[in-house]
């Protein structure tokens, strides 16, 4: 997977190679750049979008555990979770071409697609998440070992980002995003005003958004 | 916490609520009113950014319950993704929404039943997660000519090979506020540029010129035509490739009126596809 940091704004490479980038020089740059990127692993989602069927298997092996784990969290039973995973991957195949590495990693993209799909299903079914029924892993190391490196790296990055938030923001986001509680429920559980919960969630997410952009070629810059 | 009185901040508050808690009808109406004059691009950027931040946040916790994909499900997914049904779905996606679209339409009907602007917001939300069916609700009848924004949305919906790339951050100070993206479908040889914050040009003095880089075709970029920016807001410009191309990069220069055959000007904006 191309990491976000491996995507260079074209200008920066021009700056190194061709001080005054011009159209006349762009093809040379492109050919050099293609030679560089050919040695690195390209986006599996882009390969899927280009019709590479081998990439489908790679994508499933790389992100199947992530999607399955999220589905297990949101669904009441294994059958529902299996159905959800199949729906999510069908959607991923269809929209793979819209993945933009400049705004986040593939793991984040897939996590977002999966989360949105699972929330939609959940709202449709009018139920709360099955998080309580889920047995957390007790052996974190063992869990880490079975994660593909692309997921593990992104998980670590997300954990680092989360740890930079205030404790109140972390707690609110955990209850909201991870455990799926409503803002009102969180206010009751944390014994704080609803507005405080909303503020913590909003500030936490906006901070995460900034951190995504810091690593994501400044796509949200200036906003 | 008091509600923000700043409209832009209030929009963000409501977008965050939408992603994390859902909106009631009153909040949806408020959001609709507040965003009536906002550009589609700003809405999409804000909403997708918040959605992605939530997805990113979700990753932080997945460690606690991570489980590998069961083998039987893996096999099903591989068959689903590589089998003949998959290619059929892909082909059909070009002309008709797949069944997933109904799902989403039904699920988020509350966004569709609102005023048209709310429909746009819903569409913006699904830009990342790409719900095909929703876009149909945004379009007027067949007899009404589509705007460029609607044509762009239709291309994204209908072409299975659409690629979207943002313009890289400009280096030149005069273009520092320019943002936007390029949408391109190779199969249709069609696309759109979206630009916001681009300085207006006087067509009698200078015009912007688009260049399409296809290294496999030629070492020289293909002329994508000249265009003008007459407004300060968001502009959408169709890309008219005069030759069949497989672009890797789109670039914009500023040239004399009518454009040039070979440019010596600096690249003002660049968007790279397929990364």
How far from A141 is each of A134, A158, B63, CA to CA, in Å?
Answer: 19, 17, 9
Q: Phi then psi for B92, rounded to 5 degrees?
A: -65, -30
Residue A17 has pLDDT above 60, yes or no: no
Judged by CB atoms closer than 8 Å, whether chains meet at B164 and A100 is answered as yes
What is the rounded distance in angstroms from the CA atom of residue B71 to the CA atom of residue B78? 10
Domain end point (choices B126, B158, B190): B158
Cβ-Cβ pairs closer than 8 A, A with B, add up to 320
Report the b/e string of A131-156 with b at 16+ CB within 10 A: beebeebeeeeebeeebbebbbebbe
Which pLDDT belongs to residue B255? 87
pLDDT-above-70 percentage for chain B: 72
List the single residue in B with minimal CA-CA distance to A186.
B21
**Are residue B209 and residue B103 in the same domain, yes or no?**
no
Cβ burial of B104 (10 Å; 0-12, 13-18, 19+) is buried
Q: The domain spanning residue B268 has which CATH number?
A: 2.60.40
**Which residue has better confidence, B79 or A136?**
B79
Do the domain assignments include residue B21?
A: yes
Judged by CB atoms closer than 8 Å, whether chains meet at A11 and B168 is answered as yes
List the single residue in B with minimal CA-CA distance to A68.
B69
Which pLDDT belongs to residue A146? 66
**Are residue B140 and residue B28 in the same domain, yes or no?**
yes
Residue A163 has pLDDT above 90, yes or no: yes
Tokens for A54? 């081998």
> Could you tell me which residues are beta bridge partners of residue B249?
B213, B272
Look-up of token digits 């609520």: B17
DSSP structure class, residue B108:
T
- How many residues make up chain A in this entry? 223
Do the domain assignments include residue B57?
A: yes
**Are residue B132 and residue B175 in the same domain, yes or no?**
no
**Are residue B149 and residue B14 in the same domain, yes or no?**
yes
- pLDDT category at B88 given cuts 50, 70, 90 is very low
The alpha-carbon radius of gyration of chain B (Å, integer) is 21
pLDDT-above-90 percentage for chain A: 35
**Are residue B146 and residue B198 in the same domain, yes or no?**
no
What is the rounded distance in angstroms from the CA atom of residue A195 to the CA atom of residue A201? 10
Which pLDDT belongs to residue A128? 54
Q: Is the Cβ of B13 closer than 8 Å to some Cβ of chain A? A: yes
Mind listing the pLDDT tens digit for each residue in B99-115?
Answer: 222 233 333 322 222 23
Mean pLDDT for A76-102 is 87
Residue A35 has pLDDT above 70, yes or no: no
Residue A42: name the closest of B190, B273, B192 by CA: B273
What is the rounded distance in angstroms from the CA atom of residue B5 to the CA atom of residue B257? 46
* C-alpha torsion A49→A218→A175→B42, nearest 10: -80
CA torsion sign, B146 to B273 to B40 to A205?
positive
What is the rounded distance in angstroms from the CA atom of residue B223 to the CA atom of residue B4? 48
**Are residue B96 and residue B36 in the same domain, yes or no?**
yes
**Are residue B123 and residue B16 in the same domain, yes or no?**
yes
Do the domain assignments include residue B178?
A: yes
**Are residue B253 and residue B137 in the same domain, yes or no?**
no
Do the domain assignments include residue B113?
A: yes
Of the candidate ranges A3-7, A70-74, A130-134, the one whose mean pLDDT is the lowest: A3-7
Of the candidate ranges A19-33, A41-55, A147-161, the one whose mean pLDDT is the lowest: A19-33
Do the domain assignments include residue B212?
A: yes
Of the candidate ranges A49-53, B125-129, B185-189, B194-198, the one whose mean pLDDT is the lowest: B125-129
pLDDT-above-90 percentage for chain B: 8
List of residues 6+ apart from B81 with CB closer than 8 A? A53, A56, A57, A59, A60, A89, A93
What is the rounded distance in angstroms from the CA atom of residue A162 to the CA atom of residue B193? 35
How far from B54 is each of A49, A63, A119, B88, B120, CA to CA, in Å?
Answer: 25, 18, 12, 33, 21
List the single residue in A with minimal CA-CA distance to B93.
A94
What is the rounded distance in angstroms from the CA atom of residue A30 to the CA atom of residue B251? 12
Residues A207, A169: contact at Cβ < 8 Å? yes
- pLDDT category at A149 given cuts 50, 70, 90 is confident
Which pLDDT belongs to residue B55? 92
Do the domain assignments include residue B1?
A: no
Residues A106, A163: contact at Cβ < 8 Å? no
**ipTM, 2 decimals?**
0.72
- pLDDT category at A176 given cuts 50, 70, 90 is very high
Q: Total domain count for chain B?
A: 2
> Could you tell me which residues are beta bridge partners of residue B255?
B207
Q: Strand B179-185 relative to strand B190-196: parallel, antiparallel, unpaired?
A: antiparallel
Do the domain assignments include residue B96?
A: yes
Rounded (10°) angle between helices B40-62 and B7-20: 40
Residue B194 has pLDDT above 50, yes or no: yes
**Are residue B228 and residue B101 in the same domain, yes or no?**
no
Tokens for B169? 């951050």
**Are residue B133 and residue B12 in the same domain, yes or no?**
yes
Residue B116 has pLDDT above 60, yes or no: no
**Are residue B181 and residue B96 in the same domain, yes or no?**
no
- pLDDT category at B274 given cuts 50, 70, 90 is low
Residue B132 has pLDDT above 70, yes or no: no
List of residues 6+ apart from A56 with CB closer than 8 A? A48, A93, B78, B81, B82, B86
When the pLDDT of each residue in chain B is averaged and rounded to a whole number, the result is 72
Q: Is the Cβ of B260 closer than 8 Å to some Cβ of chain A? A: no
Q: Give the DSSP H/E element, type plus range, for residue B249.
A: strand B249-255
Of the candidate ranges A56-65, B31-40, B57-66, the one whose mean pLDDT is the lowest: B31-40
- How many residues make up chain B in this entry? 275
Which pLDDT belongs to residue B123? 41
Domain end point (choices B158, B185, B213): B158
- pLDDT category at B95 given cuts 50, 70, 90 is very low
Q: Can you list the positions of beta strands (E) in B157-221? A: 162-166, 179-185, 190-196, 207-213
Mapped onto helix, strand or coil, the DSSP state of residue B130 is coil
What is the rounded distance in angstroms from the CA atom of residue B199 to the CA atom of residue A64? 46
Judged by CB atoms closer than 8 Å, whether chains meet at A219 and B166 is answered as yes
Domain end point (choices B158, B183, B215): B158
Q: Considering only residues 37 to 66 of chain A, which have any Cβ-Cβ distance to chain B shorter than 8 Å?
A: 37, 42-43, 46, 49-50, 53, 56-57, 59-61, 64-66
Q: Domain range for residue B257? A: 163-272
Mean pLDDT for A30-41 is 39
**Are residue B17 and residue B135 in the same domain, yes or no?**
yes
Judged by CB atoms closer than 8 Å, whether chains meet at B77 and A89 is answered as yes
Which pLDDT belongs to residue A23? 55
Do the domain assignments include residue B191?
A: yes
């Amino acid at each position: 997977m191309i990491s976000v940091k491996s995507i260079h704004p074209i200008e920066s490479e021009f700056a190194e190679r061709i001080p005054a980038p011009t159209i006349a020089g762009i093809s040379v740059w492109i050919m050099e750049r293609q030679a560089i990127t050919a040695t690195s692993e390209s986006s599996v989602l882009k390969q899927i979008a280009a019709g590479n069927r081998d990439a489908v298997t790679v994508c499933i092996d790389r992100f199947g555990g992530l999607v399955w784990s999220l589905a297990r969290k949101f669904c009441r039973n294994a059958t529902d979770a299996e159905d959800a995973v199949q729906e999510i991957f069908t959607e991923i195949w269809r929209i793979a071409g819209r993945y933009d590495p400049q705004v986040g990693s593939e793991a984040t993209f897939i996590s977002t697609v999966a989360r949105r799909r699972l929330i939609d299903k959940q709202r449709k079914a009018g139920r709360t998440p099955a998080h309580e029924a889920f047995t957390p892993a007790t052996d974190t190391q063992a869990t880490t070992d079975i994660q593909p490196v692309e997921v593990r790296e992104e998980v670590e990055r997300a954990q680092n980002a989360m740890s930079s938030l205030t404790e109140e923001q972390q707690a609110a986001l955990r209850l909201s995003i991870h455990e799926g509680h409503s803002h009102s429920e969180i206010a009751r559980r944390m014994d704080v005003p609803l507005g405080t919960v909303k503020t913590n969630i909003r500030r936490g997410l906006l901070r995460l958004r900034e951190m995504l952009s810091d690593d994501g070629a400044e796509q949200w810059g200036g906003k | 916490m008091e509600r923000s009185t700043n409209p832009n901040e209030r929009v963000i508050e409501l977008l965050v609520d939408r992603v994390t808690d859902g909106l009631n009808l009153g909040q949806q109406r408020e959001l609709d009113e507040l965003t009536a004059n906002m550009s589609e691009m700003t809405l999409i950027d804000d909403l997708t950014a918040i959605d992605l931040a939530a997805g990113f946040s979700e990753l932080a916790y997945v460690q606690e319950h991570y489980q590998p994909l069961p083998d039987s499900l893996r096999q099903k997914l591989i068959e689903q993704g590589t089998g003949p049904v998959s290619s059929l779905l892909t082909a059909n996606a070009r002309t008709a929404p797949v069944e997933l679209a109904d799902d989403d339409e039904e699920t988020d009907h509350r966004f569709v039943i609102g005023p048209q602007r709310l429909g746009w917001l819903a569409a913006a939300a699904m830009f990342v997660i790409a719900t095909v069916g929703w876009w149909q609700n945004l379009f007027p009848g067949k007899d009404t000519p589509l705007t460029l924004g609607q044509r762009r949305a239709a291309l994204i919906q209908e072409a299975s090979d659409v690629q979207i790339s943002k313009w890289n951050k400009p280096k030149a100070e005069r273009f520092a506020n320019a943002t936007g993206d390029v949408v391109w479908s190779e199969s249709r040889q069609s696309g759109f540029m979206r630009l916001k914050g681009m300085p207006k040009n006087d067509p009698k003095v200078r015009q912007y010129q688009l260049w399409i880089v296809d290294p496999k075709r030629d070492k020289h970029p293909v002329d994508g035509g000249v265009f003008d920016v007459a407004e300060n807001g968001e502009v959408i410009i169709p890309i008219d490739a005069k030759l069949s191309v497989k672009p890797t990069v789109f670039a914009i220069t500023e040239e004399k009126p009518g454009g040039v055959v070979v440019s010596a000007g600096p690249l003002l904006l660049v968007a790279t596809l397929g990364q």
